[in-house]
Amino acid sequence: MVITDELVTYLEALGRIRLPEESRAKAQSDLQEILQYIDTLSELDTEGIEPMSHALPLTNVMREDEVQPSIPTEDVLRNAPAQKDNYFLVPRSFE
Amino acid sequence: MNLETMTALELGAAIKNGEISAVEAAKFSLGQIDKYDKKFSCFVTVQDDVLQRAEEVQKKISSGEYTSPLAGVPMGIKDNMCQKGIQTSCGSRMLSNFKPTYSATAVEEIMKAGAVPLGKLNMDEFAMGSTSETSFFGATKNPWNVACVPGGSSGGSAAAVAAGECFYALGSDTGGSIRQPASFCGVTGIKPTYGSVSRFGLVAYASSLDQIGPIAHNAADCTAVLAEIMKQDKKDNTSVATKGADLAAVLNADVKGTKIGIPTDFFGEGLDKEVAAAIEAAAKQLESMGATVEKFDMPIVKYAIPAYYIIASAEASSNLSRYDGIKYGYRADDFEDLLDLYTKSRSEGFGMEVKRRIMLGCFVLSSGYYDAYYRKALQAKALIKEAFDKAFEKYDLILGPVAPTTALKIGENLSDPLKMYLGDIYTVMMNLAGLPAASVPCGFDSKGMPVGMHLIGNYFDETKILGAAHAYQQVTDWHKRKPTELVNM
Amino acid sequence: MAKTTSWEIVMGLEVHVELATKTKIFCSCTTEFGGAPNTHCCPICTGMPGVLPSLNKAVVEYATKAGLALNCEITRYNKFDRKNYFYPDLPKAYQISQLYLPICRNGGIEIEAENGGKKVIGIHEIHMEEDAGKLVHDPWTDSTMVDYNRCGVPLIEIVSEPDFRSANEVIRYLEKLKAILQFIGVSDCKMQEGSLRADINLSVRPVGSEKFGTRTEMKNMNSFKAIARAINGESKRQIEVLEDGGEVKQETRRWDDNKDASFAMRSKEDAQDYKYFPEPDLIPIEISDETIEQTRNSLPELPEAKRQRYVSELGLSEYDASQLTTSKYLVALFEQNLEAGYPAKELANWIMGEVMRLLSDSGREPEDMTFDYSYLGLLIGMVQKNEITRNTAKKVFKAVFEEGCDPVRYVEEHNLKTVTDTGAVKAAIQEVVAANQKSVDEYKSGKEKALQYLIGQSMRALRGKADPQTVTAILKEILG
């Protein structure tokens, strides 16, 4: 797998981040090196092995449908960088 | 009474007996922080209500409400665990102004035991790293040599305990983040079985691997902390009921008849000779105490790091998406539109290592690559668990090195991420398999830097691991040695 | 492309239904509709750092019920996955949903086809997921304001097979779906409040073609009527594009009911890749055969069974039975009064007539009926006992429907009882006869129409409170 400049740009877009211009080339080669190493995993024979998300075989942990008080609105918004009339405020998101 | 050489349990007993008050203990620790923290930078935040809390705790100890052997003992909390009203930054600019309105369950549990938290401990940004250099608040230094890293990501926790700035600390371990810094700083730390300590309120790095655990001066202290925090929590659906950690059993444990396996694959290329020698010596020591030690093969080891970095980065890329400059955390000053707000806030709020893992995570999850990477890694995870299950049919414990080297020089690995990742070779497997594992001081290299041995147990065998560690610590004094930097001050 | 004379529309539906649980899917905040902004919130549903989801048992139960009522197979071992995307209404920047192992699969419901026969619409799957927050435009700052109250309200998404060929089929399916979900009590399905929302995947192809055309997805329709208009509008648009030699673009379109047209939603400026992966914070759900059987047995009689029973046991017409069973609320109105002893046919007539007319006139849905259902029976009883005339009863029912008035009291207060005193009726008619000599003459010279006029005048004089047959008889008697 080759990490091209386009792929770096695509991954930046997916992650909503932008690398500083001066570290792009280094980031690209680092990612290339890491991925090359990670690709050794393809040697491992995993034929017929069920992928395992959870190491412990738990199932059915659920809670009862009982209402608990919500938290005060001022706490909901306490750390908000921008707010208005008890709403979070963001740049226009409508078409 | 020499507080500088006391363990958490010894201090707890002294407080209980009225030989010293919780307030005096807190004053001592604040004094230690004053004295040493400029040098080591362990704490990101020192709480301003420490003495009030100590007073309140002392009252409740006197009234008999707090009965834990740790009540009144000053401690520290890694800065990725939420504590109501206290800045919880995760070592990141992104959360440098974040004060949660809720506390992590583990923090609540330790508070219920009468803990006196001193403040929040430094870490690699969002727990991504093994040097504690990637923190927005600057690098923590190793108390054994300030030119060296303390390890990471719980570097602040391990260094603070080593430097005597607190008696024990809570850390978190996603791929070795408790054990490796414990090894580098000459202290004892354990990552318990996945699910045995609630993750609620622990700021997520990789949800399926993250686990909270203690770092302390010795195995007995670790057991006492675990006994308080190993509780099933309704707020964490992945948490499980366990038999907990049994302090009495640990204190009385011996290793006679304990079957210990050593994976030969842990001793391959890349392992420092002096570290290998220290581990071999520890194995001999355990043997002389009545354990049987045997080598066995575990060829899956070489696939652990690829599988780990795929799973951890994938989950991290998703877990860190919530930092968008809208609800909390860093928001860029000027932006043109919504997309610009996201991109600028995240680019300015996250450091390089976090960005790298987000990109790697996005890659392995992106359409067309999921099966080759993420799914494959989950299969490797299944095979790793299978390999351990098989090993534990034969052995009670598995022994090996925690890290291939002792603490590296500051800056040595920062520019070579792959080299840093490879340093996690011995620790990530236990996170993938969800197994408990401890780092126990077992020697020093020729430069005077500590070496830790890795004791790995089967699911829920924390007491067995810590019992063996305690027995070992009864006949060795590696864990009692004080860092050279302190002696020189 | 050569001009084709006839086109076939092919559609599949994705219906999102908010479940009527008390609490949200992953936290214990209330699911109550509305509320001041950000008041039904906690660290979990607002995606604060370090919090974890905790699954609500009732969501799994409701989804299982829905699956069984919609003839699905229940996935014995199902799991949650994360769907990742950035948007301000999604505080974690991922939605917890089910991609790989949804809770229900392979179901379907029967609807009436265009040709009058029956047709099964396949249900591909039903999955559980969380709802997003609400965005409000703030014209003062030209910004968007975010309210997370709805965040984490449990949803099931019911994904149909591409089995629809007309707007009518879509509406019938939705009506039936809504009725079933209301009957089993898993959702109130209020479209105006957004608790039932449908997205339509639509493509067109020349009749006879086996291949599907390129489809568009349409969102933002908040009534059945809007859905029908959107289908007609969008299919016309696609046909025009194709007949002009163009190509339909696969895209998401927003239906603007005011402009009667759909518009392409600005394609997200950036890469859109949901990067699904198994949700590590939640563990798998196992549903045992026993639980499934218990759930199946707990289901109430479903609309289809009711419809058949209404016809075979109660003797209702097919049409009435199928209309009645479109709504849990109409059925409740019907059955409650049936149990009280009122005749089925009379009740059906009232519901199909007056109730439906008033609903349609006021643009309301059966669930909006606020009057005490027993009032309809009381009214019918009064007619049966000749206490009021049928016409009076209709007028009274309007007051019952609109203001919730107690019909017995209303009749008394407004003095609407039928005049049963024949003397009084006779006197009133005699006055009418005396005042309308011209009409009397006309009647006597054989003009039937004049009699109708005199009856009308007499009824008016009696303010409608007399039985028209009695009035006619007395009038004829007076006129000789």
CB distance C150 to C131 below 8 Å: yes
Tens of pLDDT, residues A58-85? 999 999 999 999 999 999 999 999 999 9
Mutate to test the interface with B, among A4, A7, A11, A24 (most CBs of B within 10 A): A11
C87 to chain A nearest CA, in Å?
9
What is the band of C4 on the pLDDT scale with cuts at 50, 70, 90? Answer: low
pLDDT of residue C247: 92
Chains that touch A (3 or more CB pairs under 8 A): B, C
Tens of pLDDT, residues C64-123? 999 999 999 999 999 999 999 999 999 999 999 999 999 999 999 999 887 888 999 999
Please tell me which of the candidates C21, C36, C144 has its beta carbon nearest to residue A92: C144
Domain assignment of residue B183, yes or no: yes
Mutate to test the interface with A, among B87, B194, B234, B379 (most CBs of A within 10 A): B379
From B92, B172, B177, B183, active-site residue: B177
Q: List the strands of the sheet with C134-138, edge to edge.
A: A83-84, A87-91, C143-147, C134-138
C251 to chain B nearest CA, in Å?
19
Q: Answer yes or no: do C36 and A86 touch at CB < 8 A.
A: yes
Domain assignment of residue B122, yes or no: yes
CB distance B151 to B183 below 8 Å: yes
From B16, B41, B68, B78, active-site residue: B78
Dist CA B434 CA B209 (whole Å): 7
CB distance B292 to B260 below 8 Å: yes
Opening angle at CA A57, ends A55 and A63, nearest 5: 115
How many residue contacts between A and C have a Cβ separation below 8 Å? 127
Closest chain A residue to the Cα of C282, Cα to Cα: A61
What is the band of C2 on the pLDDT scale with cuts at 50, 70, 90? Answer: low
Beta strand pairing call for B188-191 and B168-173: unpaired
Measured between beta carbons, the chain A residues lying within 8 angstroms of C21 are 65
Dist CA C283 CA A55 (whole Å): 11
DSSP H or E stretch at residue B169: strand B168-173
Is A71 touching B (CB cutoff 8 A)?
yes
> Considering only CA atoms, which of B70, B48, B164 is closest in space to residue B115?
B70
Closest chain C residue to the Cα of B80, Cα to Cα: C50
CB distance A75 to C44 below 8 Å: no
Selecting from 1.10.10.410, 1.10.540.10, 3.40.50.150, 1.20.120.1770, what CATH number does the domain C422-479 have? 1.10.10.410
Give me the torsion for CA of B128, B134, B137, B141, rounded to 10°. Answer: 110
Dist CA B198 CA C52 (whole Å): 10
Q: Which fold has domain A5-39?
A: Histone, subunit A (1.10.20)
Q: What is the ipTM of this complex?
A: 0.97
Tens of pLDDT, residues C270-279? 447 999 999 9
Residues of C (7-26) whose Cβ lies below 8 Å from B: none
- Residue C268 pLDDT exceeds 80: no
Q: Answer yes or no: do C22 and A91 touch at CB < 8 A.
A: no
Tokens 């920047």 found at = C93
What the block records as the tokens of C160 is 């149909």
Question: Phi/psi of residue C205, each to 5°?
Answer: -155, 155
Tens of pLDDT, residues C77-88? 999 999 999 999
Domain assignment of residue B298, yes or no: no
Residues of A (3-62) whose Cβ lies below 8 Å from B: 7-8, 11-12, 14-20, 23, 27, 30-31, 33-35, 37-42, 44, 46, 49-56, 58, 61-62
pLDDT of residue B228: 98
Measured between beta carbons, the chain A residues lying within 8 angstroms of B340 are 91
Percent of all residues in chain B with a pLDDT value above 70, rounded to a whole number: 100
Segments of chain B scoring below 50 in pLDDT = none
DSSP H or E stretch at residue B116: strand B116-121
> Considering only CA atoms, which of B320, B363, B364 is closest in space to residue B345?
B320
Distances (CA, A) of B440 to B184, B188, B477, C159: 10, 5, 11, 55
Please tell me which of the candidates C46, C54, C142 has its beta carbon nearest to residue A76: C46
CB distance A77 to A88 below 8 Å: yes
Contacts of B404 (CB under 8 A, 6+ apart): B270, B271, B272, B275, B422, B423, B425, B426
Cα Dmax for chain B: 70
Tens of pLDDT, residues A4-53? 999 999 999 999 999 999 999 999 999 999 999 999 999 999 999 999 99
Residue B452, classed as helix, strand or coil, is: strand
Half-sphere exposure of B24 (CA within 13 A, CB side): 12
What is the band of C261 on the pLDDT scale with cuts at 50, 70, 90? Answer: confident
Is position B130 annotated as part of the catalytic site?
no
Q: Answer yes or no: do B339 and C94 touch at CB < 8 A.
A: no
Please tell me which of the candidates A14, A31, A61 has its beta carbon nearest to residue B237: A61
Is B328 touching A (CB cutoff 8 A)?
yes
- Residue C267 pLDDT exceeds 70: no
Opening angle at CA B418, ends B413 and B420, nearest 5: 40
Dist CA B202 CA B200 (whole Å): 6
pLDDT of residue C440: 86
Question: Phi/psi of residue B279, each to 5°?
Answer: -70, -45
pLDDT of residue B151: 97
- Residue C177 pLDDT exceeds 50: yes
Residue B74, classed as helix, strand or coil, is: strand
Q: Answer yes or no: do C285 and A60 touch at CB < 8 A.
A: yes
Is C472 touching B (CB cutoff 8 A)?
no
Residues of A (24-83) whose Cβ lies below 8 Å from C: 53-54, 58-68, 70-71, 73, 76-77
Tens of pLDDT, residues C343-374? 999 999 999 999 999 999 998 888 889 999 99
What is the band of C145 on the pLDDT scale with cuts at 50, 70, 90? Answer: very high
Measured between beta carbons, the chain C residues lying within 8 angstroms of B101 are 43, 48
Label residue B132 left, alpha or beta by phi (over 0 means left) and psi (-120 to 50 means alpha): left
Residue C315 CA to its chain's centroid (Å)? 25
Q: Which residue has the higher pLDDT, C129 or C426?
A: C129
Q: Answer yes or no: do B418 and A30 touch at CB < 8 A.
A: yes
Beta strand pairing call for A87-91 and C73-74: unpaired
Is B288 touching C (CB cutoff 8 A)?
no
DSSP string, A43-89: GS--TTPPP-S-SS------B---------HHHHSTT-SSEETTEEE
Domain range for residue B141?
Answer: 3-264+392-487
Domain assignment of residue B99, yes or no: yes
Mutate to test the interface with A, among C75, C77, C141, C145 (most CBs of A within 10 A): C145
Domain assignment of residue B401, yes or no: yes
> Considering only CA atoms, which of B153, B211, B222 is closest in space to residue B187?
B222
Measured between beta carbons, the chain B residues lying within 8 angstroms of A79 are 97-99, 327-329
Q: Answer yes or no: do C141 and A59 touch at CB < 8 A.
A: no
Count of domains forming chain B: 1
C86 to chain A nearest CA, in Å?
8
pLDDT of residue C219: 86
* Helix ranges restricted to H, B328-457: 338-349, 352-365, 376-394, 417-422, 428-433
Dist CA B191 CA B181 (whole Å): 12
* Helix ranges restricted to H, C187-248: 224-243
> Considering only CA atoms, which of B116, B156, B144 is closest in space to residue B25?
B116
Measured between beta carbons, the chain B residues lying within 8 angstroms of C53 are 237
What is the band of C269 on the pLDDT scale with cuts at 50, 70, 90? Answer: very low
Residue B200, classed as helix, strand or coil, is: coil
Is B374 touching C (CB cutoff 8 A)?
yes
pLDDT of residue A95: 52
Query: Is C190 exposed, middle or buried, given 0-12, 13-18 or 19+ CB atoms closer than 10 A?
Result: middle
Is position B177 annotated as part of the catalytic site?
yes
Closest chain C residue to the Cα of A14, Cα to Cα: C271
Opening angle at CA B365, ends B194 and B434, nearest 5: 10
How many helices (DSSP H) and strands (DSSP E) are in chain A? 3, 2
What the block records as the tokens of B20 is 């010293």
Is position B243 annotated as part of the catalytic site?
no
DSSP H or E stretch at residue C370: none
